[in-house]
Amino acid sequence: MPGDFALILLTALFGAIFATPVIVIPYLFAPRNPTPMKRATFEAGQVPTGEARVHLMMQYYPYLLIFVVMDVIGMFLFAWATTSITLSTIETAAVIGLFLLVIFIPLGFALRLAGDRSLW
């Protein structure tokens, strides 16, 4: 068990070592001469017009939810399929059934949103 924790700490250490230059080098070498033109807000290179608060179209939000839910389902079902040999059949079916029951709730919600015509 301590060996497993040491591997986690070693991974975190490597992550910190490799992330530090990405933060420090731009801080040290990036030019710092803020001008009013650089501090101005812009919209794709254009001067902003109108109010900042606008209604955003949410038409693709349900499909984003469906993608996220299906991605999680696929990831966990693949992991369980590779390790289900060590569990009994009833335990495996119970765990996977409970997981699918919990994960199909947001999927049903996303499908209901996908059929909502007011979002389009």
Give tens-digit pLDDT for 73-119.
888 777 777 776 666 777 777 877 888 888 888 778 877 877 766 65
Give the distance, in angstroms, between the CA of residue 86 and the centroid of all CA atoms in the same chain.
31
The 10s digit of each residue's pLDDT in 16-42 is: 999 999 999 999 998 888 888 777 777
Determine if the pTM surpasses 0.75. no
Q: 84 burial class (0-12, 13-18, 19+ CB within 10 angstroms)?
A: middle
Number of C-beta neighbours around residue 114 at 10 A: 16
In whole angstroms, how far apart are CA 76 and each of 41, 70, 80, 84, 120? 43, 10, 6, 12, 32
Q: How many domains does the chain have?
A: 1
Structural domain span for residue 54 = 2-119
* Domain CATH for 29: 1.20.58
Please give the mean pLDDT across all residues of the chain.
Answer: 78
Question: What distance in Å separates the CA atoms of residue 88 and residue 78, rounded to the nearest whole number?
Answer: 17
